[in-house]
Structure 1
Amino acid sequence: MAFELGTGILRGDFAPGTTLPREAELMERFGVSRTVLREALRTLTSKGLIGSRPKVGTRVRAREMWNMLDTDVLEWYSRVAPPLQFALKLQEMREMVEPFAAALAARNHQSATLAMLTDAHRAMAAAQNVDEWVRADLRFHLGVLTACSNELLIPLGTLIERTLEAQLRLNAKRAEVYNAALAEHTAVYDAIVARDEAGARRAMAGLLGVTRERIET
């Protein structure tokens, strides 16, 4: 119920500032009980999508109030937003964060986090199909964030994990071969291992440049 109503709001079925239909109408529309409906409304309220006031009803909040950094909201939005628009917004976010994360990983990685990154890189090199490649690719990018040794960046990986995996899969399928970007990932990995901060930043920026080309093509 929260998913159905939430995606409806994100899609524009219920415009910001408008009042949602009465409970009875929503219960009939979605085929749910009052208990299920009210739980869904509480969920959407906690995510910033709606707000309730006495004698006013439940209204859709302004877009800038929506918690787009909620894992559910982000995934719901990825399902209803124009695909190219969403992919480019996610890409912009990655371009702002990942090159500097790679530099931090080069500076701050420890034996345990480097081992995780090494395992992910080896899995990418050994991948025999798209699924194996995507799983390893996701582990690699999340591993870079972990290797930063910055506890504020690690949750970012958890936040975008599901949508990032979908983007990585699409990029792999658009490439000439699924592992076409192995050399670019290796450049990032080698720079991190060598503790070359500037090199890691450049290599990650280059890798994301390839990703952007595939998105825009």
Structure 2
Amino acid sequence: MSRTVLREALRTLTSKGLIESRPRVGTRVRPRHAWNLLDVDVLDWYSRVAEPMQFALKLQEMREMIEPYAAGLAAASHSDETFGALAAAHAAMAGARNVDEWVRADLQFHLSVLIACSNELLIPLGTLIERTLEAQLRLNAKRADVFNASLAEHTAVFEAIRDRDAHAARDAMTRLLSVTRARIEA
């Protein structure tokens, strides 16, 4: 490996908060609390080596903090275009014939809620957690009695957003995520 390639790799790891370099001290791995876990690559790498149940619960905690509020915002501020994307995702969930179709539609549903909330700072969170969320959705669909067991809960979120009822949307998303948590913990 050339020095140029090594320097670039070290620069990348430094920018992601994984290592630090100091003159006369050298290069060291930083403590985990200093890592930039809100970097797509770092989150993906971490999800592959973290204890699966612990990681799933941490991701679920993050979702429980963000998604109910985002659903309420989506109900209050969605546009025709963003609601159309949410409606398409919901229709795809209702029409899913297998786990793979369900997971793709379920992922699109949750990403569409974040987009429909019209908050530019929340939207990137969907892109950030997309890969790890997809894995969690797949696991939950396989743990359920049938892959689309949570369709009714998703429909409640969809209808509350459609009706522009922010309170009902928050409550429905909270109920949906409690079903997800129960499957993770099972």
Q: TM-score, normalised by structure 1?
A: 0.84
Per the TM alignment, residue 63 of structure 1 is displaced from its structure 2 partner at its CA by 2.2
Query: What residue in structure 1 maps to residue 114 of structure 2?
Result: 145
Cα offsets for 1:111-136 (capped at 9, x unmatched): 00000000000000001111100000
* Aligned match of 1:79: 48
Structure 2 unaligned runs (5+)?
Answer: none
- Displacement of 1:92: 0.1
Higher RCO structure, 1 or 2 (CA under 8 Å, sep 6+): 2
Q: Which residue of 2 aligns with 1:24?
A: none
Structure-2 residue corresponding to 1:90: 59
Task: Show structure 1 runs of 5+ residues with no match.
Answer: 1-31
**3-state SS of paired residue (1:52):** strand
Identity %: 75
Q: Moved runs in structure 1, 4+ residues, more than 2 A?
A: 32-39
Aligned-partner Cα distance in 1 for 2:2–2:150:
50
For residue 179 of structure 1, the aligned residue among 140, 148, 154 is 148
2:35 maps to 66
In the TM superposition, residue 60 of structure 1 has moved relative to its aligned partner by 1.2
Q: Which residue is equivalent to 1:55?
A: 24
Q: CA RMSD in A?
A: 0.9
Q: How many residues align?
A: 186
Identify the residue that residue 209 of structure 1 maps to in structure 2. Answer: 178
SS at match of 1:178: coil
Give the letter aligned to residue 57 of structure 1. Answer: G
Of residues 155, 159, 171, the one that matches 2:128 is: 159
How far apart, in 2, do the equivalents of 1:140 and 1:109 lie?
14
Q: What is the CA-CA distance between 1:41 and the residue it aligns to?
A: 1.3
Say which one has the larger Rg.
1
Q: TM-score if structure 2 supplies the norm length?
A: 0.97
